[in-house]
């Protein structure tokens, strides 16, 4: 057990890997159409797709950070913001629910939250 990473270290390491991928690698990801988009293009229903009205004002449309001219930098910044934002939302939900559980004194020790 002594060599096991603490959950804090594990979290920081995994988050660093995620941020690194989003910032440094995503600007160089393939720009080809993806599976569904390619099929939609080939089978001629791509033009059916449209943005929902609320998406016209998306903060970071199409993974390009607004106001940044360099495409690669814009993508990397979008990745940075998105990865940390999604972490915060996921952590936040889990934290709030965990606090409710602690407040109930419902501590049955570690359970694997299985089905």
For residue 79, the number of C-alpha atoms closer than 13 Å in the C-beta half-sphere is: 21
Binding status of residue 70 toward another protein by CB under 8 A: no
Could you say whether residue 95 binds another protein (CB under 8 A)?
Answer: yes
Nearer to another protein, 3 or 69 (CB): 3
Give yes or no for residue 48 binding another protein (CB under 8 A): yes
| Least gap, CB of 68 to another protein (angstroms) | 15
Q: Does 74 bind another protein (CB under 8 A)?
A: no
Rg (CA), the chain: 20
Alpha carbon 85 to chain centroid, angstroms: 7
């Amino acid at each position: 057990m002594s060599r096991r990473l603490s959950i804090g270290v594990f979290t920081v390491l995994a988050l660093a890997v995620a941020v690194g991928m989003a910032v440094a690698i995503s600007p160089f990801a393939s720009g080809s159409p993806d599976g569904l988009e390619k099929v939609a293009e080939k089978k001629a229903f791509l033009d059916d797709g449209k943005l929902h009205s609320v998406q016209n004002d998306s903060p970071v449309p199409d993974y390009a950070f607004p106001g940044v001219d360099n495409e690669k930098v814009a993508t990397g910044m979008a990745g940075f913001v998105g990865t940390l934002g999604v972490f915060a939302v996921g952590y936040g939900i889990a934290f709030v629910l965990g606090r409710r559980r602690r407040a109930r004194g419902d501590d049955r020790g570690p359970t694997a939250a299985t089905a």
